[in-house]
Amino acid sequence: MFNASLKQLSDQLAGKKISSTELTTEFLKRIKTLNPEYNAFITVNEDMSLAQARAADGMIAAGKASPLTGIPIAQKDIFCAKGWLTTCGSKMLSNFVSPYDAGVIERFNQAGAVNIGKTNMDEFAMGSSNETSYYGIVKNPWDIAAVPGGSSGGAACAVAARLAPAATGTDTGGSIRQPAALCGISGIKPTYGLVSRYGMIAFASSLDQGGPMAKSAEDLALLLNVMVGFDARDSTSLQRDAEDYARDLQKPLTGLRIGLPKEYFAEGMSGDVARALETALDEYRKLGAQTVEISLPNASLAIPVYYVLAPAEASSNLSRFDGVRYGYRAPSYTDLADMYRKSRAQGFGAEVKRRILIGTYVLSHGYYDAYYIKAQKLRRLIAQDFAQAYQQCDIIMGPTTPTVAFNLGEKSGDPIQMYLSDIYTSAANLTGMPAMSIPVGFGDKNRPIGLHIIGNYFKEAQMLNVAHQYQQVTGWHLQSPV
Ligand code: GLN
């Protein structure tokens, strides 16, 4: 049951071989046993999950089920869920019980899915190792000495360790794909604007995008079918016709042109990752695809541009946490200004403060043109590189991360090294393009390796097809650490 695909679980529920209450109970038991070791969840609430499971059983009995009805889904603690503690991994929100549901949570609720718990994450989604969480580190289930990646580290760990059949994540610079790669699971960041950001606590609004994390591309398609949709409460939400993201899964890959950016297959990628990628690309050639070398001349600018724009937007977004209306308030202070200062000084962790400082600096009078405006111009150049590249290929592939998971503590003292974790992933956020990671083997210390697949705007169905065809002829996605 713990290794079953979403389709298999859905069939078992529909065929009354198992009830949602039984399924939910089994996963809750597993969480109880394994979570003390992994720390993948911040909040588990058996009563609330089981109430949803009973409601789902009612829907199934009444013949009102859809594919995800009754299936437990782990929700990243960045999504506001009514009645649930919603912390965003921060002391600042350690007392915040959300009075409303995020757009994504609403859609899962309408589909009859069960919220199995809120997953751990880097504080305000800032990080690549889950080490900045106020709720403690998450361990990589393949090797508890390793980080799970971040910021959606709890989500990736939960899916890899089979604590939940699937999870949600959010991705501002790589936070779905990098932890998916390091934990050996599949994850997709959709085209910017497809998944509602309403009730998804904002980090950098022009980059943030929610998406699913699961064992396989086929599962991701079912999850996207629920998650994607217009939401008038998010001003950047896109109004488009509904798509079935599973519609192209079975298409053959004959003639597919895979672009390999020469800048990504250069120094920086470790030997084990390079070898796993080569083997995966051979598999794609056997499936009928051809590879073409392409160039993304501005690839090396993605990290510096991201680390100007993301902190700039974060410094603005995080100004709402002032201790007045909700969230943490310092227990003692002298006057209003002192209350702001102390609440923010005590409520935010070191990495969040670093981002607020950088963001405030690059937006300040005198530096705005030199940093913020310059970064916006470079962002456009990066997008132009991709537009050019797509004239020569249908899809782009490369490594998701330069190395396998690093050790806990290895980079936490060196922010620049940590920031380089997203060297291959952040361009897709800057351009708004969809991108995903799928497992393609194991490297150093037997830790998982991810293949990064970048698609053109709205090509999610094609990307899932490309990933699914690979998963039909290989078994990496079926392996689990426990
Ligand atoms: N690791 C990147 C950062 O720290 C990306 C995080 C994310 O995608 N939320 O900002």
In a domain, 153, yes or no: yes
What's the gap in Å between 48 CA and the centre of ligand 1?
30
Domains contained in the chain, number:
1
Average pLDDT over residues 360-388: 97
In a domain, 294, yes or no: no
What's the gap in Å between 81 CA and the centre of ligand 1?
22
Question: Measuring from atom 4 of ligand 1, which residue has the nearest CA?
Answer: 127
Is the peptide bond prior to 151 cis by the omega test (within 30 degrees of 0)?
Answer: yes
In a domain, 103, yes or no: yes
Residue 298 has pLDDT above 90, yes or no: yes
Average pLDDT over residues 83-105: 98
Pairing state between β 166-171 and 395-399 = unpaired
Q: Give me the sign of the Cα torsion angle 89, 90, 95, 98.
A: negative
Average pLDDT over residues 56-60: 98
175 is catalytic: yes
Of 128, 209, 429, best ligand 1 pocket probe by most atoms within 8 Å of the beta carbon: 128
d(CA 140, CA 393): 35
Question: Measuring from atom 10 of ligand 1, which residue has the nearest CA?
Answer: 126
Query: Residue 149: which domain range?
Result: 6-250
Helices and strands: H and E segment counts in the chain:
15, 11
Sorted by sequence, the CB contacts under 8 Å of residue 394 that are 6+ apart come out as 256, 257, 258, 259, 456, 462
459 is catalytic: no
Average pLDDT over residues 403-421: 95
Amino acid at 98: S
User: Is the CB of residue 231 less than 8 Å from the CB of residue 200?
Assistant: no
151-180: pLDDT as tens digits: 999 999 999 999 999 999 999 999 999 999
CATH number of the domain within which 193 lies: 3.90.1300.10
Of the chain, the percentage scoring pLDDT greater than 70 comes to 100
**pLDDT category, 267, cuts 50, 70, 90?**
confident
- Atom number, ligand 1, closest to the C-alpha of residue 127: 4
424 φψ region: left (φ > 0), alpha (ψ -120 to 50), beta (else)? alpha
151 is catalytic: yes
What's the gap in Å between 129 CA and the centre of ligand 1?
10
In a domain, 288, yes or no: no
Q: Quick one: pLDDT at residue 268?
A: 87
Average pLDDT over residues 218-235: 98
Average pLDDT over residues 219-233: 98
Give the residues surrounding ligand 1 with Cβ less than 6 Å away. 125-128, 151, 171-175, 203, 310, 421-422
Average pLDDT, the chain: 97
Both tokens assigned to 325: 């209306």
110-128: pLDDT as tens digits: 999 999 999 999 999 999 9
In a domain, 27, yes or no: yes
Q: Quick one: pLDDT at residue 205?
A: 98
In a domain, 192, yes or no: yes
Q: Which of 10, 19, 151, 216 is catalytic?
A: 151
In a domain, 475, yes or no: no
β partners of residue 261: 294
Average pLDDT over residues 440-460: 98
Residue 6 has pLDDT above 90, yes or no: yes
Pairing state between β 114-119 and 72-76 = parallel
What's the gap in Å between 222 CA and the centre of ligand 1?
26
d(CA 149, CA 123): 13
Residue 428 has pLDDT above 90, yes or no: yes
Question: Measuring from atom 5 of ligand 1, which residue has the nearest CA?
Answer: 173
Q: Which of 5, 49, 76, 411 is catalytic?
A: 76
- Of 208, 247, 222, nearest to 428 by C-alpha is 208
28-49: pLDDT as tens digits: 999 999 999 999 999 999 999 9
In a domain, 122, yes or no: yes
Q: What is the residue whose two structure tokens read 């689990």? A: 480
Of 79, 123, 422, 424, best ligand 1 pocket probe by most atoms within 8 Å of the beta carbon: 422
Q: Quick one: pLDDT at residue 149?
A: 98
